[in-house]
Structure 1
């Protein structure tokens, strides 16, 4: 297949959340605040883990990777919105749009894989505690993250190459605050059957398989915990999974709400508002979930603050 750019345009329009000029300052302030909270919160998690030798374990290595991924996810979407509002210019270049599509896919898939890897880590820790250090050795941990990144990049590259085949007419507006793959495909005047089928297969495989892995891990975890004789052991086992389970629920819960709402409503502006639920909110709340529900993280953050 020969990939070539036949597009007749050099830029797209990001229509954002609303066309009301009076609301633009509020949206700018809101998203700037959310972005700063997300970046600072996740950087604090990374610094706390790096600073405290007691947290140099597989679980916190994966958490550190997730925090870095959350910073990347928000950085590839929100700054563009802030620049457009500040400059009162809704345009994004064709190259910039495809680049944004690629990075959104990479960080979204990477977050999905990391949650599955973290669930596997908790499964090994609770169901095979005596073999935990042997199974979750540093080499395997790094390998799991690298493989997750490699798959994410490969999938993003595939979708980007397929987008390069498509043609677009002029004056194309994306009813979103960032370039999302599905919306860009809808704007094409070419045959998008291959693109849509590729998206469907990718979602089923790269989102479905990790989700099934998470469910399987927690089924085994719950089964193992319920067989523990002491209530103290059960509480400790569940407490080690509490933060991760909360993040998983937030990640997939918001995705389910967005999918369900999109299926019931065809409003473009409604879809753009809902995108905040999965592209901004989980990344902003994850640091709070892990710092408030995790005693070790609280202690590490206290040490970082005290110096």
Structure 2
């Protein structure tokens, strides 16, 4: 596999692919954070999570068109406006879906899987009807273009650094919300003992709706980050949903540290292996590694200790 490469070339390849893996890691972490909140806290298997990500990507695309047409002097900052709008759009749709569909299916995980899979097909067709089947790309501001040379062989793209910075901000924000805020305490109380949480005055239905909306909103932010590294199509979300579920299951549901460690392991393994072999073989090897580890530790890398 390494035949024909010198030592310096291999080091450069591992460095470049490692950084590319960090960019994939950033998108997977944002996707997995939202899914871990929904699946870990609520027990809902959301197969439409990728479509919430693509909603955020399309909102970013529309925002870029709006700034180019009506506010060209401010086009350099459109991405930050798009992040906020993507979160609002995805969270609002998530709150509506929870109210109209998910709240009727709690404690029925297989039903939520089928219902959200049907929702994903509906959203895909909606995107195809509105935006067309061809992929859309956004125009990056000039200050996001280019790369920073590290060595003669290694360069770091600026937009990748921005995506990773965004991921850090969102990750710390989620940690603060879930572990240090009053609302996060309510969420944890509902997870640990729903009847007792309701008995002390917590509106569990509102907590469920806001939790689902938060998870979907984070997926929308992941869609904004995704536009920095790839084009957007109606079915682009399905390319990430399997990897996202692998991250959540491998890391341990409802555990922030497990989600981050799992996303890092999977992204680095896939990106480095894809350079030396085909993408499908790299995914098979990565999945085989995860299955092997889960056979030894089926609860995932990290788990929360919850009294049952």
Report the TM-score when normalising by structure 1. Answer: 0.32
Query: Of the two, which has the highest radius of gyration?
Result: 1
Higher RCO (Cα < 8 Å, 6 or more apart):
2
Report the TM-score when normalising by structure 2. Answer: 0.32
